[in-house]
Amino acid sequence: MKDAIMGRPISSNPRQRQLNLSLTDDELRSICMRAAAVGMRPVHFGRAILLSDGNHVAAPDNHLSRLIHQQLVRLGSNLNQIARHYNRTGDPPPADLEPLLRDIRQIITKVRA
């Protein structure tokens, strides 16, 4: 039986250089909050900002795709529970559900594009 290789695969282009920054408490807090808002770790967010073209954050595709997928799965699960409830009870859905569904459809259309 072959030994299983554990751990992260070796990168073909490893990051071997560092850029150390000194920040105030407020600056670090701001970066952490902004990173959390887009679902990134502060170090990955900082790298994406520094390497962006100035128009948008160049978040890694695989990381961003994974986050979008996770959120869409959660959203789909919640919508399924809502639909099941209204189908089971026969109650009419609330009036604010349709605008929410319209927004979700627009987001899905943008993600597919």
Mean pLDDT of 38-49: 85
Rg of the chain taking only CA atoms, in angstroms: 21
**Residue 89 clears pLDDT 90, i.e. is over it:** yes
d(CA 104, CA 75): 9
Residue 88: the pLDDT is 92
Kindly report the pTM of this predicted structure.
Answer: 0.44
Mean pLDDT of 78-96: 89
Is 60 in a helix, a strand, or coil? coil
**Residue 3 clears pLDDT 60, i.e. is over it:** no
**Residue 59 clears pLDDT 90, i.e. is over it:** no
Q: Which residues contact 59 (CB under 8 A, 6 or more apart)?
A: 38, 40, 44, 48
Mean pLDDT of 21-39: 89
- Under the banding of pLDDT at 50, 70 and 90, the label for residue 113 is low
**Helices then strands (H, E): number in the chain?**
4, 0
